[in-house]
Amino acid sequence: MDSSPFQIIAWNIRGGAGARGHRRVKELVRAFRPSIFALCETHCRFARVRNFWQQQGYELIHETEATGHSGGIWLLAPTTRTFQIGLVESWEQMISVEVHHGGRRWICTAVYGSPNPVRRQDLWSYLASFRHRCQDPWLVLGDFNEVCSPSEVWGGEFNNARAMSMLNMLDMCSLIDLGFTGPKFTWERRVNGRRVMAKRLDRALGDLAWRSTFCEGYVEHLTRVYSDHAPVLVRLEAPPLERRPRPFRFQAAWVTHPSFETVVQHTWEGQGRSLKEKLSNMQEAATKFNKETFGNIHKRKWRVERRLQGVQNELDWNASESLSRKSCFGTKSRVSNG
């Protein structure tokens, strides 16, 4: 059985062609290397950004077209992969694929519920119909644009009739909420830097067959950065206790440090005659510089993001004016420095 980690990210990116969104995508790929990447509200055709995704090592499995600046779903997978994935069927608000991995077969459905409640009802009906055609373990995730209970709303009105409609769909489809760790709400609206509304619009659902197949699987709400939606991460198994060391990569940010040019000069003029020896010494010196002087940039990013997630998590459970402004400032800083 293939032991490589299988992780899925679903994210309402609020525009798939923006530079800031692309920076966030690079961070998510580096941190999690998702086996399936589902993006919604893409606002453009995938062909426009195909080169960017090829550089990240991903290819399009299927897309539903955006209508102007509304809608659109992309479902991607790594170009080089150890599993099989193929389209089952698609519709304007969902894409379903069949996954074969580690001797197991299951269905993954990425959804983007329409902001229009009437059209969203069509999604519930389509999912209920698809349930009859789906005999394998089933995972459904994405932006449903709906809540199921008053506890999933802050600062806005709870519509009981619409929530009951979604709950009826879950019952007809034999789906259960897989729960989550992390911030309580996945979407927020801000006015002049202040949070005025927050909801849990994004989630992951599974049937009992999927839950029993991946009994260690769990869902994590990641930090909201760039988009007003948080990415939803689904891990099919518990993370490994140890991580293999990453290969050496030159970080462009090093050249901004006043001491780095001296490190390069002294190392290149030092021991080692052949080009291979000089490059090896340069790699060792740069790694030491990054650790002792510059500070590992990815660890610094990770610490900033974890602090921001902590603020967002605390804000979701214990709202306050000061935390709201910290979250806003942190998000802006994180995006501008990403």
Mean pLDDT of the chain: 84
Q: State the pLDDT confidence band at 66, using cuts at 50, 70 and 90.
A: confident
Q: Are 157 and 286 in contact (CB under 8 A)?
A: no
The vertex-113 CA angle with 33 and 306, nearest 5°, equals 40
Q: Are 42 and 16 in contact (CB under 8 A)?
A: yes
pLDDT tens across 15-31, in order?
Answer: 999 999 999 999 999 99
Q: Residue 308 above 90 pLDDT? A: no
Q: Are 123 and 113 in contact (CB under 8 A)?
A: yes
**DSSP letter at 290?**
I
For residue 325, how far is the Cα from the chain centroid? 24
Phi and psi for 296 in degrees, rounded to 5?
-55, 115
Rg (CA), the chain: 22
To which H or E segment does residue 303 belong? helix 297-317
Segment 175-184 mean pLDDT? 93
d(Cα 85, Cα 98) in Å, to the nearest integer? 6
Distances (CA, A) of 215 to 82, 115, 204, 231, 291: 21, 33, 14, 22, 38
Residue 251 CB partners (closer than 8 Å, separation 6+): 290, 297
Q: State the pLDDT confidence band at 311, using cuts at 50, 70 and 90.
A: low
pTM (2 d.p.): 0.74
Domains and CATH numbers, the chain: 7-235 (3.60.10.10), 253-295 (no CATH)
Q: State the pLDDT confidence band at 238, using cuts at 50, 70 and 90.
A: confident
pLDDT tens across 268-296, in order?
Answer: 777 666 776 767 777 787 777 777 666 66
To which H or E segment does residue 104 belong? strand 104-112
Poorest-pLDDT segment among 38-52, 208-222, 308-322: 308-322
Poorest-pLDDT segment among 22-26, 176-180, 327-331: 327-331
Q: Are 133 and 168 in contact (CB under 8 A)?
A: no
DSSP conformation letters of 190-222: EETTEEEEEE--EEEEEEHHHHHHTTT-EEEE-
Choose among 163, 154, 164, 218: nearest CA to 187: 154
